[in-house]
Chains A and B, each alone.
Chain A
Amino acid sequence: MNPAIRINDIHKKFGSLHALKGIDLTIEQGEFFALLGPNGAGKSTLISILAGLIKPTAGDISVMGFDVVNQYQQARQLLGVVPQELVFDPFFNVREMLRFQAGYFGRGKENDAWVDEILEGLGLTDKANTNMRKLSGGMKRRALIAQALAHKPAVIVLDEPTAGVDVELRQMLWQFIKKLNIEGHTIILTTHYLEEAEALCSRVGMMKQGEIVALDSTANLLNKFAGKKLRLTLGGITLPASLQSLLRSQENGIFTFALSDMEQIEFVLSALRAAHIKVLDMHLSEADLEDVFLSLVGKTS
């Protein structure tokens, strides 16, 4: 079985800017994959190459085994991309746009049931006959997502679909996308909301300055990089120098440490004991993707 996406040593240069520095990535069919990274990491450039909107300087990408340059027709037929920008065609209503979009991919009336399903799944049914211009920002975002799904692509790429979107839509969107994933569609998501990636995605890739700096299952990443978070209420004290390297944040006498393993708890506590600092309260929790993200990409960005 071909992987949903195979990215092979992709480079992209914009003049002197080396935006992508040899990306290798394979995403299997049926995966729910998150691509994370700060602004300017190269996520959108990578997605644009995947979608055929930008040409790579070197390397190749295939979708379900079809090269996105040499076999672009097959590759694009299998791919649905939600653009990041909130773009729309002011001449048409939602249903017309969806029918056109499906039509470009060779789908006709037989696709109408699927269009209805998308409209319902994204809460657009009562806006189906509304002109795109008259939709609110959130509704435009839904229509944008609907357009990418109109031809029922096997691989769905969502480039920051929830940026500036209310909670209700986010939940509705994820419910629908999860359903599509269970039905076998491969989902690739870029997002700034790390809790979304953590809740939804089985595997995560993190990008920084045009490179992939971490690629693993969400669970492994959480274990490997951040381990535990130890939050201690210590009051207005001066922290011993030996603990500074573990300190993640400090606010109102509450100190948060990032620990890679349990043994470090003993180290922290003994250092505090030696400095005669009293622990007023203690809270130990699992690290989240945000901690992983910060430890990998946050420090220099």
Chain B
Amino acid sequence: MNNAKVSNSANISTSFSGAGFKGAGFRGPWTLLKKELLRFWRVAFQTVAAPVITALLYLLIFAHVLAGHVQVYNGVPYTEFLIPGLIMMSVLQNAFANSSSSLIQSKVMGNLVFVLLTPLTHFQFFVAFLCAAIIRGLVVGLCIYLVAMWFVDIHIANPLLVFAFALLGSALLGTFGIIAGIWADRFDQMAAFQNFIIMPLSFLSGVFYSIHSLPPFWQKLSQLNPFFYMIDGFRYGFFGKGDVSPLTSLCIVGVSLLVLALITLKMLKSGYKLRA
């Protein structure tokens, strides 16, 4: 018995020596991404269908009430102007919602420990949550686009620009969602993030109007809002015109993303709020 035990433990030690171990490889972060995707897909009614309905309600109501009253770009009807803004706003809000709600739920439920116990690096953790947020944002955006096509004839002038802004915008908000998810300890703190940062910034970003229609002071203020550049750049891709140059918007969004990503990676690496 004793001998058998010794030889067996020798077996384990060679098979589990960890020699040549190269981390969880590609499969580790891929599994985390897959889990995050399934998590929102299982409740797609709430995570995809609901935001699509909300965006369509905005479209129907605002288009009906404001068409003819609001002057936007020359030659662009208000309803057509509104659609890219609504799509992008939903992309941004849902990218944020995905990473932030997943993290806060796992923290409150306590099941985040299952991920923290694994060999996943802080970078792999970041990439998995980020990609899931991007995909959720893009899926919601695409659904709104497809449904809106039934009502309005939408033409896209520069698809590459549309995709670039959707990608960078959802990445930026997905990253911000990770920061919020790590920082918040309770659901009400997360709600404060949503209600006092995400909602005002997205509503005051020019989704429903061109900032050129604003008084100079509010124009200047809008230009400090990063959401404005994401919406404007995205809209530029549709119409080939916007309030500012798409290159400026691209740079601002890109730099913001870089800064937030570095902050997030630093938080994750230090174990801030996750590893005491």
Residue of A nearest to B40 (CB): A91
Given contacts A53-B117, A91-B39, A100-B31, contact A73 B9 (CB under 8 A): no
Task: Report A78-109 CB contacts with B as 1/0, cut-off 8 Å.
Answer: 11010101011111100011001101111110
Given contacts A91-B39, A100-B31, A182-B5, contact A78 B114 (CB under 8 A): no
Tell me the residues in window 234-276 of chain B with beta carbons closer than 8 Å to chain A beta carbons: 271, 275-276
Contact B117 A76 (CB under 8 A): yes
**Please, which residues of chain A bring their CB within 8 A of the CB of B31?**
100, 103-104
Say yes or no for A174: interface residue by CB 8 A criterion.
no
How many interface residues does chain A have, given as a range?
Answer: 35 or more
Contact A53 B118 (CB under 8 A): no
Residue of B nearest to A155 (CB): B16
In the complex, the number of residue pairs spanning A and B with C-beta atoms less than 8 Å apart equals 129
**Please, which residues of chain B bring their CB within 8 A of the CB of A103?**
27-28, 30-32, 34
**Please, which residues of chain B bring their CB within 8 A of the CB of A52?**
116-117, 275
Say yes or no for B121: interface residue by CB 8 A criterion.
yes
Tell me the residues in window 11-58 of chain A with beta carbons closer than 8 Å to chain B beta carbons: 29-30, 48, 51-55
Say yes or no for A293: interface residue by CB 8 A criterion.
no
Residue of B nearest to A183 (CB): B8
Q: How many residues of B contact A (CB 8 A)?
A: 43
Residue of A nearest to B4 (CB): A182
**Please, which residues of chain B bring their CB within 8 A of the CB of A83?**
110, 113
Say yes or no for B189: interface residue by CB 8 A criterion.
no
Among B5, B38, B121, B276, the residue within 8 A (CB) of A30 is B5
Say yes or no for A199: interface residue by CB 8 A criterion.
no
Question: How far is B109's CA from A79's CA once the two chains are assembled, in angstroms?
Answer: 23
**Please, which residues of chain A bring their CB within 8 A of the CB of B23?**
73, 106
Contact B13 A1 (CB under 8 A): yes
Question: How far is B21's CA from A105's CA once the two chains are assembled, in angstroms?
Answer: 11
| Min C-beta distance of B129 to chain A, whole Å | 13
Give the 3 A-B CB pairs with smallest separation, nearest first. A103-B31, A184-B12, A30-B9
5 additional contacts, CB 8 Å, given A48-B276, A100-B31, A104-B119? Answer: A53-B113, A88-B109, A91-B42, A100-B35, A184-B5
